[in-house]
Structure 1
Amino acid sequence: MVSEKTKERVAYWATKLECPVDEDANYENTYWCNRDLIPIPDDRRTWTWQGFAGYWIITGANNSAWTAGSTLLALGLSVSQAMGVIVGSSLIISMIAVVAGWMGSHDYLGFTVMSRASWGMIGGFWPVLNRIVTACIWMGVQTYWGGQAVKIILGAVIGPKYAYMENTLPLSANVDTCSLISFFIFLAVFCPMLLIPPEKLQLPLKIAFAIIVCNIFGMLIWSVRTAHGAGSLINSPATESGSTLNWNIVYGIQAILGLWSGGIVGQSDWTRYAKTPNASLLGQGVTCPLTIIITALCGVIITNATKQIYGEYFWNPFELLLHIQSVSMTPAARAGTFFAGLAFLASQMALCIVLNAISTGMDMAALCPRWINIRRGCYILTVIAVAICPWNFVNNVTTFITVLSGWSIFLSGMTGILIFDYFLVRKCQLHKADLYQGNSESAYWYIAGFNWRAIVAWIMGVWPLLPGFIRRVQGVSDGSGWDHVYDLSYFFGFFVSGVIHWVLHILFPTKKQTGASPFQMELHKTRGQHIHGQYVGSTSSRDYSDEVVVSVGKEKEGI
């Protein structure tokens, strides 16, 4: 039996460690709610069009876009065909980002809470967990490349003594001593950045995207001038033809979509901070495709030019800079690699914060809102990212990239359900208070907290893709019907899941399926709390009893 003293101690620390609550807040920490999950209030809506333009420069001008050309050329496409695929894919990414972000900029709710409306209060944990799993892996990979940026910078400053220090780790570690030290230096710089709240990130991101843009064009000018041109790869023909080429083009489109699938499904995580409802449209509609296209094109040209300079292709810019240091440590080479490394450090720092940490921190907050907020979730994610030893994924890359880019088969259906639910099922109307009420009185409780319609719709959009996905991972694809269904995976999952979800809600409508009511909580303020029969004194300037009455306000009843 647990003693009363132990119970008191546990109760005390449980209260002590609860997430902070704002002064004069209109919410309380519950199992469904905290400061980072409520509709964003006016004073925290600070993001302007410039912030969202910077967001998409950071999200689009990354390693994935840089190396997109190599992925498509490996499928047998010519450079012009590969760029056509990238243009088409980026425009589709842009359109989905605008639609998926609409609910954030108009209802000020993130993906985490919006999932409760379509999946149910408990069922909403499923899409959230999917995003957390993928984010943990991507976070690890991106922090590893951040460490490589540190390695480049310190190699330029300190010289060969650092860049070529003796490796004391075994080959089985899949990482050398210098890279491991650089990885932890990156983390030491990165972790304090997580203390900045999302609404105050605009200035750091503006600085980062200015550095990133200058670096890309700087490397482009250097490579073309040094190679006296862009090289012969630009004019090389496709190595595939006929139906094989056509299906590879289709697969290439969904592969590019897959790389950004996690970011676009969670667009509302960021658009809910928009100062005006349309503040995000320029970034999503213009900056997004433009940045991806320009980065991919520069990646192809720089890689082709460096083939003329060094005699081999370096599709990864980090490997290119490290190679430059290995063959030349002249003052010019050291200065050039230093500033390029500094730009990639800023890029990786911003990318880890924007695309992984903040969004996933919000997802983790949904798992345990009383004790986890965005900031704490970010640190939990960072610890997991280190624990998975990301260098093992990076240095055994073939199957890993196939699996991770193919993970969009699970996210595409979730994106379709989210969008079809908000626009066609709810007609852009939500009972906001019900999204924080975990009982049968909530409009989004459905059956035991699960919306069976979303579950059925998602399964129907996923299972036909699994045979082709497995065959692709195993490397035995031969152009069968299952393989071609998988080639259409993002579009298939998005539309099949979305349409079935919509139709099931038409055939089997739920209570308060449409109509709207405001977010409102009636809080009962006390001087302390009684837990397990024991009084726990105030642990902050503001304490409430466990009892929170949720008022749905005046409702406009729908179905």
Structure 2
Amino acid sequence: MPNTFSPNFPATTDQFVGFVVFWFISTPFLWLRPEKFKIPFLIVCLWCGIGMLAWMIWAVTTAKGVGPLWDAGENIPSGSAWGTSWLIMAGINQTLGGIAAGITNGSDFSRYSRGRTPYMVGTITSCVITSVIVSLVGLVTTASGQKLYGEIYWNPPDLLMRMMDNGNGSSKARAGVFFLAAGFAFTAMFENICGNAVSGGIDLAGLFPRYINIRRGAIITFVAAWVVQPWQLINRATTFIAVLSSFSVFLAPIIGIMACDYFLLRKRRIRLRFFISAFVFYVLNKILPVLDMDQIDPIDLYGTFTEAEAKRAGVVPLDDSPILRGVSGGRSTEHVVIHAEKDVLATPQYCINIAQRAIEDL
């Protein structure tokens, strides 16, 4: 594909077309509820994981071992002001910076967990075990690629393109590169949807709950990708490094401070009475009171609580909640029929609110 962009534009025509195709393929998945992501995520993770392992096995077998990169050891410039220990600490800091955004958004998805143990197992597996395995596979594949092609390719797409060129575009080369690239692309797509679009949607829904729900917020966040111009981040090294550094410089130290403060200093005990802010907040709400501030929903509409938690909170669990039998756009609100297994007093206006929320969720 010929490049029709100017040399000053930080992307080529084929790269920009790839971004457009990626964006449009990703968009329909924004209509999925977060709790429905399990099966698509399972498929793409298996696809990508098996593809990476197959790629590593192929590279090691074809090269008959790993290249000199594997045994290169440390290579610190003589004029460097930093020793090995400080470089290791810098690597740890950069690693935390890379996953800090995901850690920050962890609470958005931990609420979908059935308990503490599954969430902890999933977090440790993804952040520690999987990261180590992926790094090892990447290092072995890159070292074998160095032995095959005489160059070091740290970026997987670059190595895939070299495989295409080396195979002269044969059917085997095209098939192998296609399945590997598709696995990486779909994995990146779902990671982008979950970690960026949905998380942004949850944040926007929290800021403007009256006008924006999670789905609308995710769509707004996804459209904002055009404003961010990701091709600037990928193809300009200085910008890319600056973005990564911004995460590691701020978020990684903050996480360290918060972990030390919570686990070591406070020993997981937190007093929730912050006196000055509480007093100011109380006075402001007395001067400008919020209507119905002391009211709660009598029904757990979104299945937030377990049955025991709902009982403690004084609300009807979702399984025992009123069932919306029918809502017709052409009929008046009096035709909204609500039936409850328990005695729940619901005003006409409350019935209307339930109907409106049901329509929005649909």
TM over 0.5: yes
User: Residue by residue, what CA displacement relative to the aligned partner does 1:389-445 show, whole Å, maximum 9, x if unpaired?
Assistant: 2112211123432442333333246546766787749936879xxxxx9x9349x99
Pairing of 1:325-336 with structure 2 (within 5 A)? 325-327=164-166, 328-336=168-176
Pairing of 1:397-412 with structure 2 (within 5 A)? 397-412=237-252
* 1:245 matched to 2:72: no
Aligned mates of 1:302, 1:412 — CA distance in 2: 29
Aligned mates of 1:519, 1:415 — CA distance in 2: 36
Give the aligned residue type for 1:345: A
Pairing of 1:62-461 with structure 2 (within 5 A)? 165-240=1-76, 244-327=83-166, 328-412=168-252, 414-415=254-255, 424=266, 427=269, 440-441=281-282
Q: Tell whether the 8 Å contact from 1:215 to 1:343 is kept in structure 2 after alignment.
A: yes
Q: Secondary structure at the match of 1:279?
A: helix
**TM-score, normalised on structure 1?**
0.47
- Structure possessing the higher radius of gyration over alpha carbons: 2
Q: Structure 1, unaligned stretches of length 5 or more?
A: 1-164, 432-436, 449-516, 529-537, 544-559
Q: Tell whether the 8 Å contact from 1:167 to 1:178 is kept in structure 2 after alignment.
A: yes
Aligned mates of 1:265, 1:354 — CA distance in 2: 13
Aligned mates of 1:430, 1:202 — CA distance in 2: 35
Aligned mates of 1:389, 1:167 — CA distance in 2: 18
Q: Structure 2, unaligned stretches of length 5 or more?
A: 289-311, 317-344, 358-362
Aligned mates of 2:214, 2:162 — CA distance in 1: 38
Pairing of 1:14-29 with structure 2 (within 5 A)? none
1:539 to partner: Cα distance:
8.9
Aligned mates of 2:139, 2:268 — CA distance in 1: 44
Q: Tell whether the 8 Å contact from 2:204 to 2:214 is kept in structure 1 after alignment.
A: yes
Q: Secondary structure at the match of 1:171?
A: coil
1:333 to partner: Cα distance:
0.1
Aligned mates of 2:89, 2:256 — CA distance in 1: 19
The 3 A distance-change label for structure 1 pair 292 and 265 is: same
Aligned mates of 2:25, 2:95 — CA distance in 1: 31
Q: Tell whether the 8 Å contact from 1:227 to 1:309 is kept in structure 2 after alignment.
A: yes
1:285 to partner: Cα distance:
2.6
Aligned mates of 2:315, 2:260 — CA distance in 1: 26
Give the aligned residue type for 2:281: S
Aligned length in residues: 292
Give the aligned residue type for 2:355: S
**TM-score, normalised on structure 2?**
0.71
The 3 A distance-change label for structure 1 pair 539 and 169 is: farther
Aligned partner of 1:541 in structure 2 is 355
Aligned partner of 1:162 in structure 2 is none
Aligned mates of 2:49, 2:153 — CA distance in 1: 20
Aligned mates of 1:366, 1:374 — CA distance in 2: 9
> Identity rate of aligned residues, in percent?
33
User: Residue by residue, what CA displacement relative to the aligned partner does 1:145-199 show, whole Å, maximum 9, x if unpaired?
Assistant: xxxxxxxxxxxxxxxxxxxx12212112222222212211111110111111111
Q: Secondary structure at the match of 2:112?
A: coil
Q: Tell whether the 8 Å contact from 1:211 to 1:346 is kept in structure 2 after alignment.
A: no
Give the aligned residue type for 1:296: S
Higher RCO (C-alpha 8 Å, min separation 6): 1
Aligned mates of 2:314, 2:39 — CA distance in 1: 30
Aligned mates of 1:429, 1:261 — CA distance in 2: 26
Q: Secondary structure at the match of 2:117?
A: coil
Q: Which of structure 1's runs of 4+ aligned residues deviate more than 6 A?
A: 420-423, 428-431
Aligned mates of 2:19, 2:243 — CA distance in 1: 24
1:387 to partner: Cα distance:
2.1
Q: Secondary structure at the match of 1:280?
A: helix
Q: Secondary structure at the match of 2:49?
A: helix
Aligned mates of 1:250, 1:422 — CA distance in 2: 22
Give the aligned residue type for 1:180: F
Q: Secondary structure at the match of 2:355?
A: coil
Aligned mates of 2:116, 2:220 — CA distance in 1: 32
